[in-house]
Structure 1
Amino acid sequence: MADGDIDALAFGVVRLCAGAVMLAALVIMRDRRLTFGGSGRSVGVVSLLVYIFGFSLAYESLDAGLGALILFGLVQITMFAGALIAGERPSARRWAGALVAFGGLVWLLWPGHSAAPSLSHAMLMAIAGVAWGIYSLNGRGTSDALGATAANFCISAAIAGSGAALAVLLFGGIDFASASLFGVAMAILAGAVTSGIGYSLWYTVLPHLRGSTAAVTQLTVPVIAIAGGAVLLSETVSSRLIVAALLVLGGVLMAVTSRR
């Protein structure tokens, strides 16, 4: 998206549609039918749409690692809040680990430092983070991870596809025509594999994790994204970013391990 291979909104639409096709095929092979109802479906669909498009628009400007740090910092806050509201009482060790990990993000993003991002794009990523946190909390109650993820993606893809067609017809606002083959291929890969299959795995794991544990473990994603951005996108890795990543990993380790 940063290099103009595909428009951010087009990326989001193609990503959702690719995920929907992949997941629908898997569910039909398993059950020979698709089910779109179920508890929490509207919450899952709305939060997925907000996440996908907030994420895509934010990454027009943000580096991979920095965007992931903002995203999962807000995911952690949202999921911790949800766990507390649901009656979970994290241990002092888990609280300390979460605070250390989140402190690393705050330190990195504090205004006045060169790493501070565009405010508007950071806000879009923050909104996406809240939406992903809600999506994850919603998934903890599902008994069929693959079926629930497929339903969320299919309904979201139908809404996004209809909205895209209307936007192109009325405003010409989504630029599908100038997308390169590489851009479309990356959107399909992001939708079919890393979103469709990846989110099904996430929904499978969620019921077996405490909400606070799930929140903290997701903070490893920014560290992976920083490494990927450096290796694949030639993004600069400053000493400040490295220290922040170490704080995040250290906090996660503290939160998910016992004293033993």
Structure 2
Amino acid sequence: MMESVQHLKDYQVVEFRRYVTAGGELAHFVKYFDAYFPEAFEQLGAMVFGQFTERGRPNRFTWLRGFHDINARPIVNAAFYYGPLWKEHRIKVNAILPDSDNVMLLRPLHPEHGISVLPAVDPVTEERGAQGIVVAQIFAVKKGSEEDFAKQAEAAFDAYRIEGVHPAGVLVSLDVPNNFPQLPIRTDGPFLVWLGVVRDEATLDRRLAPILASAERSLVTGGLLRGAPERVVMDPTPRSRLRWLAGAGAGVSP
């Protein structure tokens, strides 16, 4: 299963992109995104790791885009946003996307353990589309405490390794100038983000959620955060690569 994506690896720059869609337009935006954009970025040498709707936020769409390095970011983005595909669809897409500026620029905590790329959803064998639940924990870290907090966090994340949960990545802020200023990025970091894929509701509610809550309380008491952690629970769109895929662990993060 994973052999088909062995060439899709080593993405050292990750954008964590959280959009607000116009009222009642989230389902339409999901269809546009799934239909038009993932393969376009892959052809340009970037990667759409996965795309999701956020639970409890009916107008929120989140996706993860990867680049091999920071120098590839402006090259890929220029090719896409000045290219024919975006030119064809941008008017109708932008009309239902009032806010696309909530973007964290990140990198893998450990270069050798980035977000693994799962095979694309197979329309023949996965007729129901992407399954599972994706969870992100976002920690706003005090500047200067990034290394110490990462050590504390990694120790806490060990408890997340339970049956029915695939770790999908640990990301930290990439503190570099925005080299494609047409697309804003947040400057209020640093952040550390844990990503995981959960098999089903029962695993999330009964097993993982209590562990997440305990880790959040513990990490807050360490005094290295600027505020309470944010936990984002997301449903993959039908074509999201990042999903529950039996037999294929979603990541190799520590």
TM-score (norm 2): 0.30
Higher strand content, 1 or 2? 2
Which gives a bigger RCO, structure 1 or 2 (Cα 8 Å, sep 6+)?
Answer: 1
TM-score normalized by the length of structure 1: 0.29
Q: Whose radius of gyration is greater, 1 or 2?
A: 1
